[in-house]
Structure 1
Amino acid sequence: MAAALEAIAPHRYEVDLYDPMSRERSVLVGRLTALYGPVTRRLPALWGALYHATDFEPVVRTVQGSLGRGLRRKVRAAMHPQPALVASFHPLLNHVALDVMDRGIPLVTVITDWVEFHHAWTDRRATRIVCASEPACTLCARRGIPEERLFRSSGLPIHPNFKEAIRRYPTRRAARQALKLRPLAPTVLLVGGGDGTEPLRRYARVLAQSPLDLQILAVCGRNEALARRIREDNHAGVHVFGFVNNMPELMLASDLLVTRASPGMIAEGLACGCPLLLTGYLPGQEEGNVREVVRRKLGQYVPGQAQLAKAVQDWFAKPGELREADFDRARAAGNPNAAFEIAGMLQGLVRD
């Protein structure tokens, strides 16, 4: 969002990116937040139970009241000098910021989930709440958010780099040539998130054994051990990457995107015209993403290795015009301009 705001209004605003939970591990909420990654990777059922047990407005307020004291102190200090606008991208910070802000400062909540989301995201005091889909707007309305406070963006905000890459590489062949990949080979992108996950290795192996002459791009994120193990497997056609800064190019080079049903990855993949093969989801906020992808024929849910291998083989066996229709449907559902739309709305709320 900061990059999009700078793009539409160069050098006009000073944007302070502030995360009180990551800066101070002494804050109890910060310690709990640090457990998010390990818990969701290793104990997703526990995460789902916690999510559903706390997904009620009275519980949210109780939790915020008991755990938010240290956060309030830090957020209050961050309000000096007084900002022209506050935008929140984290469900634990919306209520906290509104509790300590001076009246007259707009607060915008940008919900970073696609279809379904926790009650912690919705506070009726917010000036605007940004929703990336019609189901999200409907859910906000059911929770009592007035229609005039909702801003319906055309999708989740993704980095402006995606829009530039889409302009630079109009075809998959062009993106593959830029990456020094085989330009005509059927290409599948495997993404395991920023921290990488072990199933990626199994997916690479089962796809490498496919009768298709696949080109497999495995992005392992910061998990160097996983990247090393996949390289040591030495499967033909598998290209291994660590943490990358060229995800737009990798997506634009790929025919299919294999990923968990995380909203950010879905948004980026659709913007690049990638049909989706979803291997799993985080209980709670990501369950609806799977239903939405399947309902809109943007991809398939493939929770097992055999299902993944069959889905890939079946997709490449489809006639070319049907595969092109899948590309078009994905592009129509994704929008690289969403961040610019939201930035324009933020600019309109700022008083010069």
Structure 2
Amino acid sequence: EEEKEVYRQLLAMVSGGQSLLFHHGASHLKMETPSSSWTRSRVKGRRPPGKRGSVVWPGGRRLAPSDSSLPLSVARSVPSFQAELWIKELTSLYDSRARERRRLIEEQEALTSRLLRQRLSEEGRAGVTTVELRVRVPLEKEVPLAPVRAETKPAEEQEFPELSKDMEMAVSAAFKGGGQDEVLSEGFRLTITRKDLQTLSNLNWLNDEVINFYMNLLMERSKQPGLPSVYTFNTFFFPKLRSAGYSAVRRWTKKVDLFSHDIVLVPVHLGVHWCLSVVDFRKPSITYFDSMGGNNDEACRILLNYLKQESKDKRKKELDASGWTLHSKKRNEIPQQMNGSDCGMFTCKYAEYVTKDRPITFTQKHMPYFRRRMVWEILNRKLL
């Protein structure tokens, strides 16, 4: 809860709520911060304008690294602070706490499991005695028992397939050794380097390259029979649409008919926080998923307005929006992150479950597994 509160304050500050933060005494927090890769953004191999490692704040003001980290109160008035060091130190601080919490949880789960087995064993012994005295003996004498055949069930898709030893070795190798700029996977006009994949290790924040590559894997999988057809915008689409309007993204779908797909995925980045908007033409609806429980009906309205303009421009006809449902998922409707690091992972996994029409059943405890699994999937350009 402490870590989530720090992350929530950070999100509020970056999203434009600085005055509220300082009013509540958050100025005593230090700008102390995951991997600097989260600041990287590329379109077809090009970085956006601005200095490497800088952070863009609302209103276009850019904070670049300086020689020392500063308290929030100072950073508010001074135009620069050491952003990458802050993120790195913040992650390091909560990484150690998260590992300790995970160890304690595993110990409690092991104890609970052992006590449960012990209780069932004791109940089983008592139950066997009762059955033998009152039921089994008379039945064996009076009625011959026919052998019970186990019913064979069709093999179902595993929700959490175990990574083999070879797969684990491949994941570990991707994290270690070699240069940071070594290319480990290519596809969808995207290039994934070792530095990109390292954003999937421990409690680092995912960057644009990893999220865009994974969303394209979901789009590729949707070509399989029995799955809804999917189109995904990249992570730069929504910020462009929100800041510059339809005209700025009009040509992004020059060769794409959005309305021929069942589902359209729109990653939404809120400065330091990843969320997801899902357009479902089958319902029709626009749903917003936020692993911190945030409400963003504005994003849904922006996307609906975009669809109206897209329909008029590309199909030369008005989109009837009267039957559309706009909804931001509530905290109790979808799993929530329990730290300040896994928003990108939750965004990707929301998309993964939605695009195969499955109920979202994962939780925070699955995130370490999902991180390593995603590394393997990106390396092999194949979803498990």
TM-score after normalising by structure 1:
0.29
TM-score after normalising by structure 2:
0.27
